[in-house]
A and B are shown apart, each in its own frame.
Chain A
């Protein structure tokens, strides 16, 4: 069991340890793309990109489908999880920001109220 988990983790580690492959995942999170598209976007050879996609495919992060002469890549079974994680991360970022904004606004509102009371006196 431990060996199995370790082997899977090795695959995931290897897949995610490379900046280009993380870039490819991000790219595929926006839209499906052919290997040719990806090679162009990341300024590398077709062979180089095929290798990267192969690693991602093995880790279950990407699936590919060959239609005619074009091999199209899309995010693998983890796609939905990744999208949900993306939105949640985005939400947390703003939530944290707005919590701080709440504090600033509350402080200003309190100051203004006490100023008004002073004026009335």
Chain B
């Protein structure tokens, strides 16, 4: 019984969609295999959170992860980025509704930081996760040192690598 449901889960790869809903908001949607209650725990308990939050492709090692998921509680993530000082990402939980909704601020960029809103909705044996990253103003998004900006930088880094590879392939 257990083996069958496992193989069924293995077949279905849930899709992640991203939409730029305005010049200061990005929305990510994804179904997760499990009840909202458990998905919420994976977002709010440090020992679970650190098992999935840092993508391998990011090239940064998580040094520490503290989460106090209560209204007004703080979180702090520190990464080894190969520099003398670790890179820290931190903020405050603004709304915490168990199994249904989380809102936190991203304060490492100062006042221009984004606000992340995540909703969890049970859909059969899955949970629909909708994550919004919203900036206080267009200017804030312009200057913020956020995940989005990071991804942008990474895109350019990749473009650089691609150009290097192309350069080599034409016999430079």
Please give the residue numbers on chain A whose beta carbons come within 8 Å of chain B beta carbons, in ascending order.
Answer: 2, 5-6, 9, 12-13, 16-17, 22, 25-27, 29-31, 82, 85-87, 89-98, 100-106, 108-110, 112-113
A91 and B18 contacting across the interface, CB-CB below 8 Å: yes
Closest 10 pairs between A and B when the two form their complex, measured CB to CB: A100-B52, A105-B34, A95-B16, A96-B55, A91-B18, A109-B34, A101-B52, A98-B30, A30-B142, A94-B28
Instruction: Tell which of B16, B141, B155 touches A30, judged by Cβ atoms closer than 8 Å.
Output: B141
B156 and A104 contacting across the interface, CB-CB below 8 Å: no
Q: How far is the CB of A88 from chain B (nearest CB, A)?
A: 8
Question: Per-residue CB proximity of B37-65 to A under 8 Å, as 1/0?
Answer: 01101100000100111111110000000
Instruction: Tell which of B42, B129, B148, B154 touches A104, judged by Cβ atoms closer than 8 Å.
Output: B42
Instruction: Tell which of A31, A98, A104, A105 touches B142, judged by Cβ atoms closer than 8 Å.
Output: A31
Main secondary structure, interface of A, reads: helix
A85 and B38 contacting across the interface, CB-CB below 8 Å: no
- How many residues from B make CB contacts under 8 Å with A? 53
Please give the residue numbers on chain B whose beta carbons come within 8 Å of chain A beta carbons, in ascending order.
Answer: 2, 6, 9, 14, 16-18, 20, 23, 26, 28, 30, 32-35, 38-39, 41-42, 48, 51-58, 127, 129, 131, 138, 141-142, 147-149, 151-156, 158-160, 163, 166-167, 170-172
B38 and A112 contacting across the interface, CB-CB below 8 Å: yes
Main secondary structure, interface of B, reads: helix
Instruction: Tell which of A13, A92, A98 touches B163, judged by Cβ atoms closer than 8 Å.
Output: A13
A26 and B56 contacting across the interface, CB-CB below 8 Å: no
Which residues of A are found within 8 Å of B51, using beta-carbon distances?
100, 104
Say yes or no: A90-B38 contact (C-beta < 8 A), given A9-B163, A16-B159, A22-B153.
no
Instruction: Tell which of A2, A13, A31, A89 touches B171, judged by Cβ atoms closer than 8 Å.
Output: A2
Bound: A17/B159 CA distance, A: 11
* Pairs across A and B, CB under 8 Å, 15 listed: A5-B166, A6-B167, A12-B163, A26-B153, A29-B152, A31-B142, A87-B20, A89-B152, A90-B18, A97-B52, A98-B16, A98-B52, A104-B48, A108-B34, A109-B35
